[in-house]
Amino acid sequence: MNFSKRLDYALASLAYLAKLDTPVNARTVAQFYQFPPRLTSNILKELASKNILKSTRGAYGGYLLARKATEVSVYEIILAIEGPVGLVDCTLHGRGCNAITFCSANAFMNYIHNHITSLLKRIKLADILRAEFTFSNFFIADKSHPFVKNV
């Protein structure tokens, strides 16, 4: 998985907005982080179109979280900005590889992909705002699975 700079900007912008109770315009967010204003505006519009943010018009308009930070998963944010992502093409509905039916690496790659996806679904925007965030709060190794040994 290789995420774009747009996702970096989206996560930072959401972290900024999550701390506020009043709407903030895209220009304010862009200035705070020194992000390109047009790109920031486009990202916030995209997040609003996916119901992660809500937008209000007018002199005091701007963007706010559409839901509580505890209800917005990192996976949902990634999907909104990047679309479906996988470790390799075969983890996304078996596309991109002619050897999918007999490839011995496919099961392993799908196992890893599913665990990463599960992890990203469990991590909420509120979690990444906490100073004491650690992945150990979210990772549970399935020791019964043949790919996991002595984790």
Examine the pLDDT at 142 and tell me if it is beyond 70.
no
Task: Tell me what the pLDDT averaged over the chain comes to.
Answer: 83
Examine the pLDDT at 103 and tell me if it is beyond 60.
yes
pLDDT value at position 84?
Answer: 84
CA 75, CA 10: separation in Å to the nearest integer?
Answer: 12
Which amino acid, 37? P
Indicate the fold that domain 5-137 takes in CATH: Arc Repressor Mutant, subunit A (1.10.10)
CA dihedral 65, 70, 75, 80 (to 10 degrees): -10
Confidence of residue 23 (pLDDT cuts 50, 70, 90): very high
Confidence of residue 150 (pLDDT cuts 50, 70, 90): very low
Extract the tokens encoding 107. Answer: 């099961």
Average of per-residue pLDDT across 30-47? 96
